[in-house]
Structure 1
Amino acid sequence: MEELVDAAVELIGIRSTADRPDDLQRALDLVVGLVGPGFPVRRFSSGGKPSVLIGPPSPRVVLNAHLDVVPGEASQFAARREGDLLYGRGAHDMKCAALVMAAVFRSLAPKLPYPLALQLVTDEEVGGFDGTGHQVAQGVTADFVVIGEQSNLRVVAESKGIMQVRLTATGRTAHAAYPWLGSNALLTILEAVRRLMERFPVPSEEVWSTTVNVAKIETGNTAFNVVPSSATAWLDIRFVPSDADLFDRLGEIAGPGVSVHLDAMGAPHHADPSCREVRLLQEAAESVGFDGSLLRKHGSADGRFYSARGVNAVIFGPGGDGQHGPKEYVDLRTLRPYHDALTGFLRSLTAG
C-alpha cells in the first residue's frame, strides 16, 4: 500500500471543497488518471459539480466514492504520517478509501465475468444531489452498491435521513429602550428552538434516535438598540425512519408565529441485511481478520439515492477517526485488509 499512500498525500493536498470548482476537478482527474486508460469514462456535471462513472451505466456492482471534503485549516491539507496513521483533511472521509476502490477496480474490472463500475463524485459533503443523485436520475443503476465511507470494515445497512430546515419569524421593530412598543422576532425563534430541543434533546451518548443540531441563529440587526423585526434559525435534523413525517409536524412543534422552510431533504437509507451481497461482504471482512458486523450510521450518505430506487447500497470502508475534525486520520493498517476484502467480495459474486 505504500504506492497508494504516496497518492493519498497528493490527493489530500488538493483543497477539494465545494467552493473550489477547479480543485474538485483536479481531485477527480487525479483518481481517473490513476485508474488509467482502457475503460469507458462517462462524465457528468450538475450544479457546477463534476462527477464520473468509469464502466457501464448498469453494472452488477458500483463502487462509489466522493472526493470532496469539508473546509479546514491550510495545515490540514498537508498530509502527515505518524507511524501507522495518516493525518489530513479527507484522509478518513474518504480520499484513501477512494484510492483503494480505484485500485481494486483497475485490477478486477477486466477480469470479472460481470460488469463493474467505479463512481466518483465531488459533492457528497453538500448533499450529493449533483453527484450520485444526478447520476442516478440520469439512469445509472446497479444490482448492488458499495460506498467507501469509513466503517472500519463493518457493513452499514442503515443510515438516518437528513433535513436542512430554516425557521423564520417576523415581528415589529422598536427602540430597545421601549421594547413594549415592538415585537421581538428573535424571542419567537428562541422559543421555537427551545420547544424543538425539548422534544429532541441532545443525547448524552450514542443512540438511534432523531437529533436536531442548531447550526445558526441570526437577525437582520446591525445595532444593539433595535428590537429585531426578523429572525432565522438553521437546523440540521438527522431522523430515523419512524420520524419520516417530521417535516409535516415541525410547524406544530415550533409553535405560533414561526414559518418552516425546507432547504434540503434526504430519505433514510436502508439495505436488506439478509441479502446475499451483504452476507458475502461480511464474510469477506471476516476473512481478513475483521468481524464484518452490521452497523448503523447517524450521518447521511449517498446510498439513499440508490435505496430510494430499490437498490441495496451499503457503506463499507477502512478504519480511522476524526472526520470533519482537526485531527482526522486514516489507519493505514486497515487499507490492505480493506483492499483484500473488496477483492474477495467481488470475486465471490461469480459463484452465483
Structure 2
Amino acid sequence: MMSQIIALTKKFISIPSIKGNSRALKEVLDAALAEVKGYCVDFFEKEGIPSALIYNSKARRTRFKIILNAHLDVVEGKDKQFTPFEKQGKLYGRGAYDMKTAAAAEIILFKRIAKKLNYPIALQLVTDEETGSNGTKFQVEKGVKTDFVIAGEPTDLNINFKAKGTIWAKVKFFGKSAHAAYLWQGRNPIWNLKRFLDSIQILFPLPAKKAWRTTVNIAKVETSNLNMNKVPNNCEVSLDIRYVPVGQNRFSSMKNANFYIKKLKEVLPANAKLELMLVRTPYSIKKEDPYIGTLQEASKKITGKKRRLVGEPYGSDIRYFIEDGSRGITFGPVGGAMHSENEWVDIKSLDQYCKILESFLLFAQKAAFTT
C-alpha cells in the first residue's frame, strides 16, 4: 500500500494545482478519481471549481457515518517544487505536507477498505480549500452530512480538535501628492501606515513559537505610486489575523471577531478606511468526543501510545461540517515547511498514519456513537 501512496503522491505533486489553473485542478481531480473506479461518485461544480464525493453504497445518499476529506489544491510554488523527490526518508514537493500525501493515503485506503465496512463512508475530494469555499462548503450546502469528518491536514500525527478564527482585512490610508523635492507640500500616508502597524505590533506581539494566542500577519503593503520622485497620496496594508476566542465566549460566537475588529478600529488614523474581506469564527469539538476516543484507541494499537490533542492556528474545511452540526478533526502525517520552500513529509510517519486510519475505520464498525 505504501508504494501505491508514494507513487500517487508524486503524481499529484507534479500537477501544479494552484488557484486559477483550471486545467491542472481538473487534471489532479481526474487522477484521484481514476484510483476509485467501481465506487459511486457524485460530481459538484461551483464557479468553475470541481469537487467530488465518492461513497461505498450502491444507491445515492448524502448522509454518512464518516467522511474522509482531502483537498488537492496547493499554494503557488517555484517550478522545481512541482518535481517530487525522496531524500533521507522524506518526500519533498509542493503539497507534500499540505496535503497531497494525506490525500493519496485517504484515497488508497478508501479504495482498499470502503466496500468491507458495514456503515456508509465517503471520500470527499475538493480543489479550492486554500483559497475559496466552492468545494466542501458547497457540498455541505447541497445537503452532504456526516456524523464525523477527518481532514488530512498537517498535524504531525496529533489530533487537532480546535482551530483559531480568521479575519482578512485591508486598511487604506490617504494623503496628498507632491514632488519629492517639496515633500512638505504633500502628506505621505505611509507614515500613518507605519504608526498603525506599530500599534498592531504592541497589541499582538509576535510569539517566539506556536502558541494559542491571536497573531497578525502583514501580508501585503501597496501604493499606486510608481515614481521615486513623488509623495504618494495613498497606500494600503492587507492583514491576516488568526484569533482565539475571548473570555467565556463560545467558539462560534461573532462576539470574538467583533472584539478584534473593534481593536483594529481603535488604532486607525482618522482618515484611514478598514475593509473586511473575510471573517471566519474559531471552531472546536469536545475532547471527550467518542470518535476521538476511537482514534486514540487505534493510535495506541499501532504506535503504542495515544496522540496529543492540539489546537492549530490554521483553519480547514471541517469548519463547514461543524457549523452544520457535525463533528470533526484534522489528522495528518509528520512533515514541515508548509507553504514554504523544501516542503516535506516523513515517509515513516505516513505508514503509521495509514495504519492508524485503517484501524480507526475498522474499530468504528463495532462502536456505537451518538450523533
TM-score interval w.r.t. the shorter chain?
over 0.9
Query: For the aligned residues, what is the CA RMSD?
Result: 1.5
Equivalent pairs, count: 350
Partner SS for 1:241: coil
Query: How far is 1:28 from its partner?
Result: 0.7
Asked if 1:132 is matched to 2:147, the reply is no
1:165–1:235 contact (8 Å) kept in structure 2: yes
Task: Show the counterpart of 1:337.
Answer: 352
**In 1, Cα distance between the equivalents of 2:191 and 2:8?**
52
**In 2, Cα distance between the equivalents of 1:51 and 1:65?**
10
**In 2, Cα distance between the equivalents of 1:291 and 1:235?**
37
Percent identity (aligned):
35
* Alignment-mate amino acid for residue 276 of structure 2: L
* Alignment-mate amino acid for residue 30 of structure 2: D
Task: Show the counterpart of 2:302.
Answer: 288
**In 1, Cα distance between the equivalents of 2:139 and 2:196?**
38
Asked if 1:11 is matched to 2:12, the reply is yes
Task: Show the counterpart of 2:46.
Answer: 46
**In 2, Cα distance between the equivalents of 1:83 and 1:35?**
31
2:107–2:123 contact (8 Å) kept in structure 1: yes
Which of 323, 341, 347 matches 1:308? Answer: 323
CA offsets 1:211-239 (integer angstroms, 9 cap, x no match):
00111111111112222111110111111
Asked if 1:259 is matched to 2:273, the reply is yes
Asked if 1:71 is matched to 2:76, the reply is yes
Asked if 1:276 is matched to 2:290, the reply is yes
**In 2, Cα distance between the equivalents of 1:349 and 1:248?**
45
* Alignment-mate amino acid for residue 124 of structure 2: Q
1:188–1:257 contact (8 Å) kept in structure 2: no
Query: How far is 1:109 from its partner?
Result: 2.0
Asked if 1:297 is matched to 2:345, the reply is no
Query: How far is 1:269 from its partner?
Result: 2.2
Which of 192, 197, 200 matches 1:193? Answer: 197
Q: Which runs of 5+ in 2 are unaligned?
A: 56-60, 247-255
Mean Cα deviation higher: 247-256 or 52-61: 247-256
1:153–1:285 contact (8 Å) kept in structure 2: no
**In 1, Cα distance between the equivalents of 2:315 and 2:76?**
18
Task: Show the counterpart of 2:221.
Answer: 217
Asked if 1:161 is matched to 2:165, the reply is yes
2:265–2:274 contact (8 Å) kept in structure 1: yes
2:150–2:331 contact (8 Å) kept in structure 1: yes
Task: Show the counterpart of 1:240.
Answer: 244
Partner SS for 2:130: helix
Partner SS for 2:138: helix
CA offsets 1:315-335 (integer angstroms, 9 cap, x no match):
011111112121111111122
**In 1, Cα distance between the equivalents of 2:87 and 2:164?**
33
* Alignment-mate amino acid for residue 37 of structure 2: G
1:251–1:259 contact (8 Å) kept in structure 2: no
2:257–2:279 contact (8 Å) kept in structure 1: no
Q: So what's the TM-score if we normalise by structure 1?
A: 0.95
* Alignment-mate amino acid for residue 109 of structure 2: V
Task: Show the counterpart of 2:119.
Answer: 114
Asked if 1:182 is matched to 2:186, the reply is yes
